[in-house]
Amino acid sequence: MSTCPIDNRVIRPIRFVAGQCQMLDQRLLPAEEVWHSYTTCQEVAEAIRTMVVRGAPAIGVAAAIGVWFGVRDIDTESSWEFYQELEKICAILLATRPTAVNLSWALERMKHFAESNLDRSVPELKIGLEYEALAITQEDEKINRQMGKHGEPLLADGARILTHCNAGALATAAYGTALGVIRAAVEAGKKISVIADETRPFLQGGRLTAWELQKDKIPVTLICDNMAGALMSKGEIDCVIVGADRIAANGDVANKIGTYTLAVLAKEHNIPFYVAAPISTIDLSLNDGSLIPIEQRDEREITHIKNIQLAPEGISVRNPAFDITPHRLVTAIITENGVVEDDYLTGLSQIIKPT
C-alpha cells in the first residue's frame, strides 16, 4: 500500500505501474487519497467486493485486470488447460458483485479473446490478455467521451442538474458516464451546475461526486437524498442524469438505490430523467428489470459510519444496493453509439450493434 497525491489534471481511479495496478481507495475519499497496489486476481476480486473500486464500468475494467493478473500465474503449456484455468479465474471475479453486468461483459470479452486465440502458445495468450485488459481500460475513456458528445445536446445552457451516486471518472477508467455528459456540456461552453445527492449508505455522492466535480471546478451543491423532492417542487432542478449498472432489453434500468425515487419525482415535476451508460451495460438477455439480480449488502453500512453507531444494537435493516427504474420513467438512454428514446425494445437492440 502506498500513499501519494492523485493526478490533478485527469482523474483516473485505476492506473498501471510496472505490471502492477494501483487503485484509489474510494472508501477513504474525500478525507484521504490512498492508493493500493494489486498484483493478483484474488486481491482485485477483494477490491471489487469491498468497494475499493466501484461503479459499473470501473468494475468491468478492474475485472479485466484481475483476469490478466490471474492468467500470469497459470503454470501450463497447454492452451486448453490454460483456458480452463482462465474460466476458474473469471468465476472468482464474477462472484464479487451481482448487479453490474459490465463485470460479466468484461469477463466474457477476456474469455472470448482467449477462445479465439487457442491456437496460440500460452505465453502469447498471456501477452494477448494483457493487451486486451489494457484495451478495455483505454476504450472505456473513449466510450465515455463519445457518450458525452451524444448526450451534451440534451443539457441546456444554465441547466441545474441533479445526479445520484457517482457515475463519474471514479466510476470508470476516466471522464465518467453521467458526469461525462456533464463534463462534455461544460467543455461545450455551457454554464452547468450540479446538485449531488449524498447517496446513503455508502455516500458516493457526497464523498466521490462532490470531490471530483470540485476538483474539475464544476459548480456542485451537496444535498441529502431526501431533499431532491423539495428542490424539484421549488423549480430548482432542470433535469436528472444518472448512470446504470444494468439495463434490460425493454429499457428498465438497475442503478444505485434511490434512483427509482428520483425518477418518480422527475415524472411528478415534468423534469427529464436521463440515463448515461455504455452499451456494455445493456443486457438484452433479460426482458425486463424484474429479472436483474439486486445485491443486498451488509447492514453495518447503514448502522455505522466507521465506528460511530447510528442505530440501536440489533436493529433489523434492509440494504438493497440497487433498485429498478421502469423504462416508462426514463426520458432517454445515452450511450456511446447514440441516444435512445421511447421504444427502448427496438432502440437498444439496434444501438448495441451500430451499422
State the minimum distance, in angstroms, from the CB of residue 320 to its own copies. Answer: 6
Specify whether the CB–CB gap between 42 and 58 falls below 8 A: no
Grid coordinates in use for 355? 451499422
- The rounded distance, in Å, linking the Cα atoms of 323 and 326 is 10
Smaller CB separation from its own copies, 134 or 223: 223
Q: Return the residues of window 306-325 that contact its own copies according to CB under 8 A.
A: 306, 308-320, 323-324
Residues 6+ apart with CB under 8 A from 348: 247, 249, 251, 282, 284, 333, 340
**Sole binder of its own copies in the list 31, 217, 285, 353 (CB under 8 A):** 31
Torsion of CA 209, 215, 220, 221, to 10 degrees: 80
State the minimum distance, in angstroms, from the CB of residue 87 to its own copies. Answer: 34
Is-catalytic flag, 245?
A: yes
State the minimum distance, in angstroms, from the CB of residue 166 to its own copies. Answer: 12
State the minimum distance, in angstroms, from the CB of residue 240 to its own copies. Answer: 13
Torsion of CA 74, 59, 177, 135, to 10 degrees: 0
Please report how the helices 122-151 and 56-72 are oriented relative to each other, as an axis angle in degrees rounded to 10. 170
- The rounded distance, in Å, linking the Cα atoms of 118 and 78 is 9
Smaller CB separation from its own copies, 134 or 218: 218
Residue 197 burial (CB count, 10 A): 28
Number of shown-chain residues binding its own copies (CB under 8 A):
56
Our finding on whether 214 is near its own copies (CB under 8 A) is yes
Q: Return the residues of window 215-254 that contact its own copies according to CB under 8 A.
A: 219-231, 233
Per-residue interface string for the shown chain with its own copies, residues 160-199, x marking contact by CB under 8 A: ----x------------------------------x-xxx
State the minimum distance, in angstroms, from the CB of residue 170 to its own copies. Answer: 13
Our finding on whether 291 is near its own copies (CB under 8 A) is no
Our finding on whether 5 is near its own copies (CB under 8 A) is no
Specify whether the CB–CB gap between 35 and 53 falls below 8 A: no
Our finding on whether 274 is near its own copies (CB under 8 A) is no
Smaller CB separation from its own copies, 66 or 206: 206
**Sole binder of its own copies in the list 302, 345, 350, 352 (CB under 8 A):** 302
Grid coordinates in use for 176? 465518467
State the minimum distance, in angstroms, from the CB of residue 231 to its own copies. Answer: 7
Q: Is 301 exposed, middle or buried (0-12, 13-18, 19+ CB in 10 A)?
A: middle
Smaller CB separation from its own copies, 72 or 267: 267
- The rounded distance, in Å, linking the Cα atoms of 11 and 69 is 23
Our finding on whether 293 is near its own copies (CB under 8 A) is no
DSSP string, 12-58: -SEEEETTEEEEE-TTTTTT--EEEEE-SHHHHHHHHHTTSS-SHHH
Q: Which residues bind its own copies (CB under 8 A)?
A: 30-31, 164, 195, 197-201, 203, 206-207, 210-211, 214, 219-231, 233, 257-258, 260-261, 264-265, 267-268, 302-303, 305-306, 308-320, 323-324
- Residues acting as catalytic residues: 245
